[in-house]
Amino acid sequence: MEKRERRLGRIGEGKAYKGTLYFADEYVAAEQNLETIGYFSAGYKRRYPKEPNEAKVINIGPQRQIRIVPSTYGYPNSEDQDYYRGFLKVCSTNARLAERKRERQITRHPHLELPIGFSTNQLLRYSGKGDNARNRQAVRNWIKRCTATTIEGGLYQAKTKYINQEFGGQLFSQYVLIGEKMLNGREAGMNYVWPAAWFLSNFYYHYYRRVDLAFHQRLSKPIAKGLYPLLETGWFASGGSFTKRYADLCAHLFIQPHAQQSLVKQQLDPAHEELKHELFLEAWEYVLDSEQQWTGVIRWWPGKKWLDDQEARKLRKDLAEQPPDIPGGLATFSEKKYLAVSNIVNMTASAGGPVSPLHADRVREFYERLGQSKVSKQKVADGAQIITDLEAQGFSLEEVDKAMQWTITSRQKLGDQVYSLGILPHIIGQALQEFEKDQRTEKKRSKQGAEDRLYTESQARSQSLEQLLQSLPLPEQETLREEAIKSLVEQGYDEKLLRVMKSMVKQEVYRLLQAQLSQKE
């Protein structure tokens, strides 16, 4: 019985208790710092440092900065992330439960015995890679790279619950590759690594999250692999949609930033489509301002797979709170924050169906703009159902957004009595008509304003040039006039007619005078 309990206690075994699966076979425990600090760059083409003290810099919030300092082996990239995922399965398989007694309380912690050994073939298999000479050498380089690459800055340490802003260290403190001599003089029959103390400590104190190894391996786009842990963290923290500035995303993934939105879409949307195909991502948008210009911000909404993972996480939390004689305490992933499972998972519409996170986010934003910062789940669910019903009637989400925007800005027209989104189905036709009318009026006003500005600037420029012309001696004024007539004749105008059309000649004089000023500048 004791042997069976130890086996059930391993991370990632995928065993069941009383018919309930509490840890899927392909889920592994991943230390959370490395999931959030941008340690792995998105791409399979290796990047090497070009200057001394070069580093990849990631700002996580206003007061936490991380530097990934590369070695001659280059920056860790998506290939290294693949091998790291395989290594996590090695750790999950080898971990054993250790009981800790403190103040009459017994807690159970995952313990990794050092060194951690694995064959090259095993790591390739766990990483979803083929066994060939190129990949075998890549594994050796991955071990060396993880030992040489330095992490500097704000690393979270679970034992002290403190972010060490002055941290400096590597993932592996040392290694012995297969075939090399160990300290006891024997030849190593496999690869051995010694993870750093911070990694072992965070693992021991449950500072890890579940990562779907099979899902990671199905992803083919490097950016998709980088977005997987980033979005998961963002959605969990926000409880809904997650937004990030494109510039910060590029720094995190270590990818080339683009200025044009079309190029940004070409860069990111293949990864977005892949994550959506896997049901991890429901939708995304490039956030626009009131003038329909991109703000440089991207917003993502979670898909069914992520929501299902949150439900599984809640189930493990419930199992962890059962009496201690139930096996599997390690696999229940006992992180305190998981008590607050995403509201989206539990929220249901009044009609009984699941609420779309995309619609729920729209509803929350609607009420926030009305000044209602706290809204009940029921009110959000009802609003989301209204949007779903309007879609079923043939209204597009763009039309729904327009109607909601008009409703907010036209409260006075509605008697200032907008307390609920329930008014939307009754006024959407009027709202869309008025919205388009307001847009045309605003466009006309904007065009007229632009024309007025151009006229004012033109008048001011002409007045300034006339003052300058009058300040010149008469011979110079006459010379400029003759040059203007000559220039216009060369453009095809009749000279006799020009002698009469003084206004046209004066405008040409102004142009010549402006050209002279520009040359002097």
- Phi (first) and psi of residue 42, to 5 degrees: -90, 100
Q: Mean pLDDT throughout 382-405?
A: 83
The 3-state DSSP class for residue 205 equals: coil
Retrieve residue 462's tokens.
């002409």
Q: Mean pLDDT throughout 452-460?
A: 78
Residues linked to residue 100 through DSSP beta bridges, in sequence order: 107
Long-range contacts made by residues 35-38, C-beta under 8 angstroms, separation at least 24? 35/209, 35/211, 35/229, 35/232, 35/233, 36/60, 36/229, 36/230, 36/233, 37/66, 37/68, 37/151, 37/155, 38/66, 38/68, 38/251, 38/252, 38/253, 38/254
Q: Is 494 exposed, middle or buried (0-12, 13-18, 19+ CB in 10 A)?
A: exposed
pLDDT tens-digit readout, 51-79: 988 999 999 877 889 999 999 999 999 99
CA angle 210, 216, 221 (to 5 degrees): 145
pLDDT at 336: 33
| Neighbouring residues of 369: CB distance < 8 A, sequence distance ≥ 6 | 408
> Cβ distance 303 to 358 under 8 Å?
no
Selection from 29, 57, 30, 54 nearest residue 41 by Cα: 57
What is the Cα–Cα distance from 497 to 494, expressed in whole angstroms? 5
Question: What are the strands, taking DSSP E only, across 158-311?
Answer: 162-169, 172-176, 191-195, 208-212, 242-245, 281-288, 294-302
Residue 425, preceding peptide bond in cis (omega within 30° of 0): no
pLDDT tens-digit readout, 284-294: 999 988 888 99
> Which residue would you say has higher pLDDT here, 13 or 92?
92
| Neighbouring residues of 317: CB distance < 8 A, sequence distance ≥ 6 | 332, 333, 334, 338, 339, 341
What is the Cα–Cα distance from 97 to 144, expressed in whole angstroms? 29
> Which residue would you say has higher pLDDT here, 235 or 500?
235
Q: Is 417 exposed, middle or buried (0-12, 13-18, 19+ CB in 10 A)?
A: exposed
pLDDT at 221: 97
pLDDT at 412: 59
> Cβ distance 409 to 416 under 8 Å?
no
Q: Mean pLDDT throughout 206-234?
A: 94
pLDDT at 132: 95
pLDDT at 521: 64
pLDDT at 414: 57
According to DSSP, the β-strands at 281-288 and 294-302 are antiparallel
pLDDT at 190: 95
Range of lowest pLDDT (29-33, 177-181, 311-315, 416-420): 416-420
CATH architecture of 219-302: Orthogonal Bundle (1.10)
Residue 334 has pLDDT above 70, yes or no: no
Selection from 356, 102, 60, 66 nearest residue 233 by Cα: 60
Selection from 90, 172, 74 nearest residue 124 by Cα: 90
Distance (Å) of CA 199 to CA 69, 88, 160, 170, 411: 18, 12, 14, 9, 55
Retrieve residue 141's tokens.
């380089």
Helix (H) or strand (E) holding 144: helix 133-148
Retrieve residue 359's tokens.
């619609």
Q: Mean pLDDT highest for which of 241-245, 337-341, 483-487?
A: 241-245
pLDDT at 500: 59
pLDDT at 251: 95
Range of lowest pLDDT (47-51, 72-76, 195-199, 421-425): 421-425
Name the pLDDT band for 355 (thresholds 50, 70, 90): low
Q: What is the pTM of this model?
A: 0.63
Q: Mean pLDDT highest for which of 20-24, 418-422, 465-469?
A: 465-469
CA angle 287, 278, 136 (to 5 degrees): 110
pLDDT averaged over the chain? 81
Domain parsing of the chain, residue ranges: 219-302, 347-465, 472-521
What is the Cα–Cα distance from 309 to 280, expressed in whole angstroms? 10
Helix (H) or strand (E) holding 116: strand 116-118
Residue 325 has pLDDT above 60, yes or no: no
What is the Cα–Cα distance from 250 to 447, expressed in whole angstroms? 36
Q: Mean pLDDT throughout 31-41?
A: 95
Q: Provide the residue count of the chain.
A: 521
Q: Mean pLDDT throughout 107-124?
A: 93
Retrieve residue 432's tokens.
């869309």
